Structure 1
Amino acid sequence: MGNRSETLEFQAEARQLLQLMVHSIYSNKDVFLRELVSNASDALDKLRLESMVDKDLDADVSDLHVDIEVDRDARTLTVRDNGIGMSREDVVSLIGTIAKSGTAELLRKLRESKDAGASQELIGQFGVGFYATFMVADRVTLLTRRAGQSGGTRWESTGEGTYVVEAVDEAPQGTSVTVHLKPEDAEDNLHDYTSDRKIREIVKRYSDFIAWPIRMTVQRPGEDGATATETQTLNSMKALWARSRAEVDESEYHEFYKHVSHDWADPLETIHMRGEGTFEYDALLFLPSHAPLDLFSPQGRRGVQLYVKRVFIMDDCEALMPNYLRFVKGVVDAHDLSLNISREILQQDRQIRVVRRRLVKKVLSTVKEMRERDAERYLTFWREFGAVVKEGLVDDADNQSAILDVVSVASTHDPAELTTLAGYVERMKDGQEEIYYATGESRSMIENSPHMEAFQAKGYEVLLLTDPVDEVWVERVGQFDGRQLRSIAKGQVDLDTDEDKAKQETDRKEYAELLTWLGGALADQVKEVRLSSRLTTSPACVVGDAHDMTPTLEKMYRAMGHEVPQVKRILELNPGHPLVTGLRQAYDAEGESAALTETAELLHGLALLAEGGELADPSRFTRLLADRLARTL
């Protein structure tokens, strides 16, 4: 193989991120070593797994480990593993490019962040730990050879926008990263990364639990005064999940979470559980304190790793955690599975399904306990992950009741507080049998909707649902605690007294001919025109039949590529509004006319706009409105 060398540019987003890393000051630079050791550990896990799957793989797995080597004179620190290694293509795609969603958002938040700790959280949230080396290095060199391949690859960069990739004939199996440390600051004793003591301290704090030995060769004075070398293992290699909770310090849990999640912030909650009986397993799960940027990306990483008898099997085990809990991080170590189990087998394995059910119930019960024990922590969780958890109301019928118990939503009861469904039921008026809700893009849009008028006037509490998934789950769930969930924008509303109903009957007779004519004039836009009992101040609103699909849901399905029929809605008029009264008087006096038809179109358009809907022909509506306004001047 020739020594082919090529200079390439980082992807634009990676280049910007590097500049932020190089020229920013972070309060905790030590994490660069944690990230390198974590990457090395992942590489060893992957080689162990691949060697079990591919019996013909030409790779040495007899002594898998991580080496840390320091050269004080040259001011270099090298982290070396004999794991899976990388091909040239792997190096370019994994290091030269950030192939993840949300890059621009990450960069924007980093630039806006004035707090070093917050910046670290953002970087960890995005999972770009390798770039942390440029906080302490003026040059980084990487040498790697993928297991089973003959030639290697050398990579080098100063972090200034380009990197050099070179094919090399000889390279040991695995990857070594050499950090050429920046010039020493005589006053900065806290960050002397050529110090054996400093390296031991970092490994003990961040990487003690890693399953592979982390070794370092140190110099010791011999008995005869000569200097002797000694190889030490720096970590205990004790699996945290296999120890009892009483044996583990909270800080150890936090560092393990950061290892498995590549997050820089502490978790919000730790779940340590053990399954015993016919099928044994250990699980160590974490609820993060903030949502990752790829939470809603189809390519986003899931968080639960599967081990069998402490051997790493796979990173994002979909069979262990449903999609609506994809933010949960951690490890499940099954005692009785085959080491060479595949993803396909996992989906069908009865024991894995049992574990999944137990994990889901434990996560949901932990969230419920958090709400009862620490409202502030719960609200942090719900703000970050509530919209995702509600997906389970659609996807997980078995746990629907448990999910409903942890759901919190906004309501008209208290503008500053969220409410549970149980809390709403406790506050229901005497004689009220249904739980009223409204969906929309924002709280303010819903509160100002014409549909709210009668409910506000009569003091009925309404749930205000603004997440896209709300449009789906309320229809799927249908009821809570034996009470129907009822949209205030669909069907007939019955909030009236006997006196109100008597007046409505009189109004219906007076407006009968106008309503019939309007139904014909607007036949292309609406299925019916009727008088409303939900309006107090607006002239009109549009509503759906009780079982109609909402306009928002229609748009969601179309955005996903589904063909759905256009649903005609019902136009309701407020007989107490001057515009509607005037329209009836004009119709009674003159009959149908072009001017009245235009007024009917304007009335329908105003009703659509009032609820945040879209006009079928905005230009015609504005022209009619402008002409009508001009005639009034």
Structure 2
Amino acid sequence: MGKKTTHKFKAEVSQLLDILVHSLYTNKEIFLRELISNASDALEKARFKSQAEGAEDELAPEIRITCDADAKTLTVTDTGIGMTRDELMSNIGTIAHSGTAELAKLAEEGKESLDSLIGRFGVGFYSVYMVSDKVEVTTRSMAEGAKALTWTSDGRTDYKLQELDEDRPHGTEIKVHLKDDEASQFTNTAHIKQVVKKHSNFINFPIFVGDERVNTIQALWREPKFQIKPEQYAEFYKFLTFDPDDPFETLHTSVDAPVQFNALMFIPKRGDDPFGLGRENRGLDLYVRRVLIEKQNKDLLPEYLGFIKGVVDTEDLPLNISRETLQDNLLMRKISSTLVKQVLDHLAKMTKDDADRYAEFWRAHGELFKAGYMDFLNKDKFAGLVRFNSSALDDDTGLTSLADYISRAKEDQKEIYYAYGPSRQALGLSPHLEVFRRKHLEVLYLFEPIDEFVMDALREYEGYALVSAEHADMDKLDKFEDVEKAERPEALSDEQKTELDHLLKRIKDVLGDAVTEVKASTRLSESPVCLANPDGNVTSSMDKIMRVMSKDTSIPKKVLEINPDHPLIRNMLTILEKDENDPFIEQAARQLYESALLLEGYLTDPHALVGRVQDLLTKSSGWYVAAEK
């Protein structure tokens, strides 16, 4: 045995060790991640040295972890490059970067977790003292003539160095003497395997816990795409997500600029519930040189692409970068913008190559994807990918793009019309769409509240304005001929026109402040009345959404539009001519208004309406019986 010498830690090391030992941190398992990362670096250096010298290393590159419950020890051994005496003192006797005073301040304030601090200050090895009261490091360098050395310390004020006479293979062995309260946890091989799989599963060298290799799934994202078979992608996807199905789509990419990274992303066949637990179960796993930095990072992809599962691995980020720094990191933003572009381009290619397949994607993930209306940087790409049902389709499962709508638009039509409703059937009966049905003008059907926000954000597409059907400019619609000719009564005489003005005023008097105005409509052909927003900007459906958000339960005041050609309105005109105070006028006015409210979804108390219907049915049945005699 060589002479044993004692060396004091530098002042900042002692201060750091005191912080580690006396602070309470929950994620103590990261010490093992740090030791494995150091071992992996040593193995990479050994491989590089062997290749540079043209000599083949006799030792197989590997990392071994063994536990001894009786001795309360955990040992991590690698066959890497090892350390000389000077390297040992330099690497473990001092801290690579200054800043321990700042570290002490942050730790006391509790602003950051230890696992994020460690990487920032280059002190990964020292994390072992969270679980240990003594550490022995035995190492022999690959350098010619290097002697084996042992470094020993209790992590307080000093460390001991001793040169060994024994002939050892090159590499490093770190024996951790565990504290009593940590021994049971970190001598449990099942727990050790779990920690290795969580943090270090894709390290490039075999990791053995006992005699069992733990990291059996290779880091596919690092492999050339042309060498990987679909079943390998499927195996990796299932390992990552626990989804029993194969992935719907796979995106494997390697980027060199503006930042270097590899990514392997998957689109699942089914979507998570975007308004349930699935919203939190999103994000890509972020690795730095195969070491997991953050599980399900929420910043790499925006929420509307949250259905994407996968991993991103970069060389350019510092290992163990803190979460706070991650969020503000310029490289992260560059990676994010590149990933978003790649996903959107992949989806755009799918729309061109296989529309049916894209429709399958949309039905699984479209509801979440529509939240992309807030991504203004990618507004045009988003607009090309969004899908809706339409009056031009045969059922409520059909989908059309804005581009498809334009391809079917009439000559001189420069608007894309849309309407919101609870179902295709409801929209098929909407009074606001009668003019569109009459002229065979296509209307996009919106079934979800978010669709309104999508349209409001997009505003236009390829030079076509997105216009709500209820706000359509009738002058623009008039230039298109009626395809379906409705049977219309004779035009109103001048006397009847005067009487119509009288009727509109009478209905306004009956309804009072419940409506802002009563006027003749040019859009209606089948219904007697409809309600329209007075400002002409906010749609009825958007108004409803805003009222729900502000918890406003009042009934909005709208314009009541009357169809002068409807038989009921013509009958009311006849009745008014005979007796303007006939109670039927008031009864019909209230009934028409409340029926319109009911169609719009605003009628909260239907009792008056039901009573009126029953009274009218009773009277009309009596007239019907008398007429049949």
Does TM-score exceed 0.5, indicating one fold?
yes
Q: Does 1:527 align with 2:505?
A: no
Equivalenced residues, count: 450
Q: Provide the rounded CA distance (Å) in 1 between the counterparts of 2:481 and 2:215.
A: 80
Range that drifts further, 557-566 or 285-294: 557-566
Q: Is the 8 A contact 1:532 1:574 kept in 2?
A: yes
Q: Provide the rounded CA distance (Å) in 2 between the counterparts of 1:253 and 1:566.
A: 56
- Equivalent residue, structure 2, for 1:577: 566
Match of 2:409 among 428, 441, 461: 428
- Equivalent residue, structure 2, for 1:387: 367
Bigger radius of gyration among the two = 2
Q: Provide the rounded CA distance (Å) in 1 between the counterparts of 2:235 and 2:222.
A: 16
Amino acid at match of 2:260: E
Amino acid at match of 1:587: L
* CA 1:399–1:338: 2 relative to 1, 3 Å: same
Q: Provide the rounded CA distance (Å) in 1 between the counterparts of 2:526 and 2:331.
A: 60
Q: Provide the rounded CA distance (Å) in 1 between the counterparts of 2:618 and 2:262.
A: 76
Once the two structures are superposed, residues 292-336 of structure 1 have per-residue CA deviations (whole angstroms, 9 ceiling, x without a partner) of 245554853113111122221112212111111111111111221
Q: Provide the rounded CA distance (Å) in 2 between the counterparts of 1:516 and 1:82.
A: 93
* Within-5 A mapping of 1:222-371: 231=211, 233=213, 238-293=218-273, 296-297=276-277, 300-371=280-351
- Equivalent residue, structure 1, for 2:118: none
TM-score for the superposition, normalised by structure 2: 0.63
Q: Is the 8 A contact 1:571 1:604 kept in 2?
A: yes
Amino acid at match of 2:328: Q
Amino acid at match of 1:496: D
Range that drifts further, 499-508 or 593-602: 499-508
* Residue 263 of structure 1, CA deviation: 1.3
* Residue 378 of structure 1, CA deviation: 1.0
Q: Does 1:173 align with 2:186?
A: yes
* Residue 426 of structure 1, CA deviation: 1.5
Q: Provide the rounded CA distance (Å) in 2 between the counterparts of 1:540 and 1:460.
A: 21
* Residue 214 of structure 1, CA deviation: 6.3
Name stretches of at least 5 consecutive residues in structure 2 with no aligned partner.
1-19, 38-62, 67-73, 77-128, 133-180, 192-199, 483-487, 623-629
- Equivalent residue, structure 1, for 2:388: 409
Q: Provide the rounded CA distance (Å) in 2 between the counterparts of 1:174 and 1:379.
A: 52
Q: Does 1:399 align with 2:375?
A: no
Range that drifts further, 506-515 or 523-532: 506-515
- Equivalent residue, structure 2, for 1:448: 429
Match of 2:478 among 485, 489, 496: 496
Range that drifts further, 587-596 or 248-257: 587-596
Q: Provide the rounded CA distance (Å) in 2 between the counterparts of 1:271 and 1:498.
A: 46
- The alignment partner of 2:449 has SS state of coil
Q: Is the 8 A contact 2:283 2:300 kept in 1?
A: no
* CA 1:365–1:342: 2 relative to 1, 3 Å: same
* CA 1:214–1:477: 2 relative to 1, 3 Å: same
Name stretches of at least 5 consecutive residues in structure 1 with no aligned partner.
1-49, 69-80, 84-146, 151-167, 179-206, 218-230
Q: Provide the rounded CA distance (Å) in 2 between the counterparts of 1:337 and 1:463.
A: 46
- The alignment partner of 1:576 has SS state of coil
* Residue 360 of structure 1, CA deviation: 1.0
* CA 1:398–1:444: 2 relative to 1, 3 Å: same
- Equivalent residue, structure 2, for 1:630: 618
* CA 1:237–1:462: 2 relative to 1, 3 Å: closer
* CA 1:356–1:241: 2 relative to 1, 3 Å: same
Q: Provide the rounded CA distance (Å) in 2 between the counterparts of 1:585 and 1:406.
A: 54
Once the two structures are superposed, residues 251-307 of structure 1 have per-residue CA deviations (whole angstroms, 9 ceiling, x without a partner) of 111121122222111111111112213521111111111112455548531131111
* Residue 581 of structure 1, CA deviation: 1.1
Q: Provide the rounded CA distance (Å) in 2 between the counterparts of 1:497 and 1:584.
A: 30
TM-score for the superposition, normalised by structure 1: 0.63
Amino acid at match of 1:304: L
- Equivalent residue, structure 1, for 2:580: 591
Match of 1:514 among 503, 524, 547: 503
Q: Provide the rounded CA distance (Å) in 2 between the counterparts of 1:256 and 1:351.
A: 26
Q: Provide the rounded CA distance (Å) in 2 between the counterparts of 1:255 and 1:384.
A: 22
Q: Is the 8 A contact 1:491 1:545 kept in 2?
A: no
Q: Provide the rounded CA distance (Å) in 2 between the counterparts of 1:564 and 1:392.
A: 30
Q: Does 1:462 align with 2:450?
A: no
* Residue 565 of structure 1, CA deviation: 8.1
Q: Is the 8 A contact 2:283 2:299 kept in 1?
A: no
Q: Provide the rounded CA distance (Å) in 2 between the counterparts of 1:210 and 1:348.
A: 27
* CA 1:629–1:374: 2 relative to 1, 3 Å: same
Range that drifts further, 446-455 or 208-217: 208-217
- Equivalent residue, structure 2, for 1:33: none
Q: Provide the rounded CA distance (Å) in 2 between the counterparts of 1:56 and 1:437.
A: 53
Match of 2:592 among 584, 592, 603: 603
Once the two structures are superposed, residues 341-400 of structure 1 have per-residue CA deviations (whole angstroms, 9 ceiling, x without a partner) of 23332232222112111111111111111121122321110001112211111x111111
Once the two structures are superposed, residues 484-541 of structure 1 have per-residue CA deviations (whole angstroms, 9 ceiling, x without a partner) of 1111123553433699999699786552222233233323332222222222212112
Amino acid at match of 1:384: A
Query: What is the RMSD computed on CA atoms of the aligned residues?
Result: 3.9
